[in-house]
Amino acid sequence: MHFFRLKPCLLDYPMEFLHPCNWCHNLQESLLSSASGYSNYRGILNWCVVMLVLSNARLFLENIIKYGILVDPIQVVSLFLKDPYSWPAACLIIGLILHLFNLTSLLIFPSASVLTVTSITPVGGVLSLGTYTVLFLKLYSYMDSNKWCREIRQAKAKRMTRSYSSVNTNVSYPGNLTHRDMYYFIFAPTLCYQLNFPRSPRIRKRFLIRRLFEMLFLMQLLVGLIQQWMVPSVQNSMKPFQEMDFSRMVERLLKLAVPNHLIWLIFFYWFFHSSLNFVAELLQFGDREFYRDWWNSETVTYFWANWNIPVHKWCLRHFYKPMLRKGVNKFLAQTAVFLASAFFHEYLVSVPLKMFRLWAFMGMMAQVPLALFVSRFLNGNYGNAAVWISLIIGQPIAVLMYVHDYYVIHYGSTT
């Protein structure tokens, strides 16, 4: 019988139970019930991705129909060519070399207690300030780590070693105080210095080419999305802010949230995966943990500890743990870390814009009560949803605040 061919296992049952009428129902829960234990929602996840792509495609087509094609790579280049002081490359290289020379002088003459500071022409822009901030963090870690080594050496404790290549050739402090060591750390994709960096055995050319292609493609994509999608949305948001039309302000905020978040995600992949892996592969830097699974964050503190591993390691090693060793409790130490992070966020925004508004500072400090609220009242998927909402909505609020204030300061008198 056809029934027996489909159900050969039924031969183990008595004949009175083999009739089809007796095999129609079983004791079971619906799949969407929590008691069913069902967890394979891959199809629903794919549906969400498809709906998200279609929704963004509709918004993007609507943008093109309304504004036309606004992407202009020449405009980006002209921003640097109009004013020679807006082109940071030469000044940054000169500043980097001068800072390295100062550091070298300190290492050659360790008895010197004051580091000579060379006056360098200030260069506007986030790129310049970001580079100098990274350089400052690196130099601080270099100084702190060598200080620990010097203390260990003076105490005749265990000596630390460092491998310069894939061959296990070790050196001891102060043998690591060389130009080669210093330059390698300056260009390595890490903020924390140590005497023994893990090294990869070889440079993978295919991996390098893929990362380079991603860097070039995603950079063009970021510039295009900002010109085509972000700029018109921000410009159209000025009038509701001037008129204090709350409903339209919320509408513009939600409309800006989609492209802003998409650009942030692309930037994350471009910088933390493509760019840092490209540099690490060139230098055979073995530690490639530049991020962890922050997208699964169920608390705000987990997100901040896992989305930017180089900065997190620096804060943990040179700021958080030293405070704990001095007797500061964990909450105050965490608050101090957020305070320092808030300062640098505000510094990287206010100085290029030449205005002091504290929006970035307050946004970062607001993470402290938000972290307490989420960790105490929201768990699991609810906490993860709260983290995503804070990312999607929080950033556009800060963007609109700065753009509005910048517009009022520079163009308010002409309108």
pLDDT in tens, 310-329: 999 999 999 999 999 998 88
Provide the whole-model pTM: 0.76
Q: How far apart are CA 160 and CA 172, in angstroms?
A: 6
Q: Is 345 a catalytic residue?
A: yes
Q: Which amino acid is at 251?
A: E
Rg of the chain on CA atoms, in Å: 28
Q: How far apart are CA 121 and CA 93, in angstroms?
A: 12
Positive/negative CA dihedral, 136, 141, 146, 151: positive
**Nearest Cα residue to 303 out of 286, 317, 311:** 311
* pLDDT less than 70: residues of the chain: 1-25, 32, 74-128, 156-169, 171, 411-415
b (16+ CB within 10 A) / e for 340-373: ebbebbbeebbbbbeeebebbbebbbebbebbee
Q: How far apart are CA 405 and CA 412, in angstroms?
A: 9
Q: Which of these is catalytic: 99, 179, 345, 404? A: 345
In order of 6, 8, 25, 137, 141, the CA distances from 16 in angstroms are 18, 16, 16, 79, 79
| pLDDT at residue 108 in the model | 36
Preceding peptide of 174 cis, ω within 30°: yes
Q: How far apart are CA 199 and CA 184, in angstroms?
A: 12
**Nearest Cα residue to 104 out of 38, 159, 186:** 186
| pLDDT at residue 114 in the model | 35
Three-state SS at 354: coil
**Nearest Cα residue to 63 out of 229, 179, 204, 195:** 229
| pLDDT at residue 19 in the model | 56
| pLDDT at residue 124 in the model | 43
**Nearest Cα residue to 297 out of 393, 391, 396, 377:** 391
